[in-house]
Amino acid sequence: MNKRYLDYLDQLEAEAIHIMREVAGQFQKPALLFSGGKDSITLVRLAEKAFRPGKFPFPLVHIDTGHNFPEAIQYRDELAERLGEKLVVRNVEDTIKKQNLSEPTGRYASRNGLQTYTLLETIEEFGFDCCIGGARRDEEKARAKERIFSVRDEFGQWDPKRQRPELWNTYNGRISLGENVRAFPISNWTELDVWNYIKREEISLPNIYFTHERECLIRDGKLMATSDFIYRDPEDEVVTRKVRFRTVGDMTCTAAVESVAYDIDTVIAEIIESKISERGATRIDDKLSETAMEDRKKGGYF
């Protein structure tokens, strides 16, 4: 074997670091969107690799729906503290009051869609010209066609027809006033790549990614964590199961999966065996229509 051989995780890491440094080099006021989920936790590790021993050239920005898992929020605060990096939190609750938005109601009520309003408000407040996000192309078919530098208009809208061709490793971050860019350094990673990287880098994760006993209600065959925020019908069946979360988003739209995986190795084994995709298993928001993600992205979603 060639002595100078770069393993696939090293290649993916090198590409992601290069993209982050292009963001730092091309933009005046970038930000890293941090959700407390494994993909954005991976982004933070990549930012350390890209910029240490210097500081990050951007703050971590969290759009908090107020319906997040407390474990993820605690992890977020501890991480920012440990890294000594700036954390900006903006609350969907405040946007709802300020813009007089109506909260979604009913069985599938979730603030997930309202995050977009708060995100756009935050972009405007700080004048962010580029937001780094942890979206991956393997997640969903609308994301499979997303660029690494994705130009958005002043309403944050994604227009698939206006996408710029992206060649070699040359990213065009030139924008007009009012436009901004979403940059996706781990576009080419799969769910399994992220887990293998977390394992290799020995990154700690919020404990909800591993098996624990939890009270859930069963909705459309999926296990939803009980909380004060989730809509409950009197006839909803409530059960206690050994579960973990495969994605960590808003509690009202992120389902748990039954699992006994207690560490990274057992999680990886479970994903390899899994017959259902990550978003298919865990996201209520994508099930609402066939083009749910495409429509949300056009509306300014990540």
Interaction of residue 168 with another protein, rule CB under 8 A: yes
- 203: number of Cβ within 10 Å: 15
Q: What angle do CA 138, 38, 137 make, to 5 degrees?
A: 15
**Minimal distance in Å, beta carbon 64 to another protein?**
29
Residues 39-68 close enough to bind another protein by CB under 8 A: 48-55, 57
The number of residues that bind another protein (CB under 8 A) is 63
What track of x and - describes contact with another protein for positions 117 through 156 (by CB under 8 A)? Answer: --------------------xx--xx-xx-----------
Is the Cβ of residue 57 or residue 299 nearer to another protein in the bound state? 57
- Taking CB under 8 A as the criterion, the residue among 106, 127, 165, 221 binding another protein is 165
Interaction of residue 221 with another protein, rule CB under 8 A: no
Interaction of residue 200 with another protein, rule CB under 8 A: no
Cα end-to-end span (Å), the chain: 41
Rounded CA separation 182/30 (Å) = 10
DSSP tally for the chain: helices H, then strands E:
9, 10
What track of x and - describes contact with another protein for positions 252 through 271 (by CB under 8 A)? Answer: --------------------
DSSP structure string for 151-178: EE-TT----GGGPPP-BTTB------TT
Is the Cβ of residue 107 or residue 145 nearer to another protein in the bound state? 145
Report which of 128, 122, 104 is spatially closest to residue 114, judged by C-alpha positions: 104
- Taking CB under 8 A as the criterion, the residue among 164, 204, 239, 262 binding another protein is 164
